[in-house]
Amino acid sequence: MSTSINNAFITQYERDVHDVFQRDGSVLKPTVRFKSDVVGSVATFQKIGKGTATTKARHGTITPMNQTHTAVSTTLADFYAGDWVDKLDEAKINIDERMAIARGGAKALGRKVDSQLMTILDSTSQTTVTLTVTTSAKVRNGLLDMVEAMIVNDAYEPGNMYGVMSPHLWAAASTINEFASSDYVGSDGLPFNVGAPVGMFKRWANVLWTVHSGVPNVGTSTSKMFIWNKDAIGYAAGKTPANLAGAGKETSVGADITWHGDRAAHFVNHAMSGSAVLIDDAGVIEGTLNDTSALPVS
């Protein structure tokens, strides 16, 4: 066997990692401002404040709006997802171990991205909306209360709005005719594709809603949900080092395969740097509900 066969293995594996990460990666990454290939440990997102229109006298000077410019920074964190592949074990199995490890690493990093975004969503200081799920009408009204709060904050921007629910709340919302029926939503919104590799989105009240098992306190009496404007949250991903396969791709995920003779095994590692940041607090509304309550029957 050629001693260079490992080069082909690494090249093919890198392609698998990239494809799998795109398919089984983060649900929420397409719903926020995304900055890729960041060089350095800190990424910056720019925020511009509101301007106010004024009058002027004939031939008079115009009063500048003096919109505030704010640089919102976040420090990238490094994450790794690796596993051992024993040389003799590969001879005893009839599955594609390379793809299994690729899929596991990609999903682990995808879950980490969503976990970071959930933490940032949960950091909003806006007034929390309490949802009651005893009837379909109360579920509907609670969701609309959150939309109303976004409108009050001047953060409601159709086409740029997203919401995330626990599985229980998603099931409760599915009892609302206006949410579930194509008579109200339109067939093109059931589901709606936002470019997320996994998950599903549904358009209602000009918000693209998705279900996620990783919302804070899921399955408890203090489960949370959020709606937000895409421009209110940012995620920055560091550039993958040149010595890792996958360098330069938008996912910023690298793969490294190293042979360890003392273990007679390859160590297959995946790595990325990334961090989320709250750019505009007014653009996120938090809701809370009892995830242990029974589903509505009316």
pTM above 0.95, yes or no: no
pLDDT of amino acid 191? 55
pLDDT of amino acid 189? 57
Please check whether residue 106 is in contact with residue 268, taking contact to mean a CB–CB distance below 8 angstroms: no
Instruction: For residues 21 and 106, give the distance between their C-alpha atoms in angstroms, rounded to a whole number.
Output: 5
pLDDT of amino acid 248? 46
Q: What is the largest CA-CA distance in the chain?
A: 88
- Residue 234: phi, psi to the nearest 5? -125, 150
Residue type, 269: N
* The length of the chain, given as a count of residues: 298
Comparing CA positions, the residue from 201, 18, 213 lying closest to residue 109 is: 18
pLDDT of amino acid 279? 96
pLDDT of amino acid 244? 53
Please check whether residue 161 is in contact with residue 148, taking contact to mean a CB–CB distance below 8 angstroms: no
In the chain, what are the domain boundaries?
A: 5-50+76-118+236-273, 120-233+280-289
Across the chain, which has 298 residues, the per-10-residue mean pLDDT values are 48 59 72 89 89 90 89 92 83 71 81 94 96 95 97 94 96 92 66 59 92 95 97 90 50 76 87 94 97 92
DSSP H stretches of helix in 31-176: 87-90, 97-121, 136-152, 167-173
Instruction: For residues 156 and 149, give the distance between their C-alpha atoms in angstroms, rounded to a whole number.
Output: 9
pLDDT of amino acid 283? 97
Please check whether residue 166 is in contact with residue 118, taking contact to mean a CB–CB distance below 8 angstroms: no
What top-level class would CATH report for the domain 5-50+76-118+236-273?
alpha beta
pLDDT of amino acid 200? 80
Q: Which one is the CATH code of 120-233+280-289: 1.10.150, 2.40.10, 3.30.2320, 3.30.200?
A: 3.30.2320
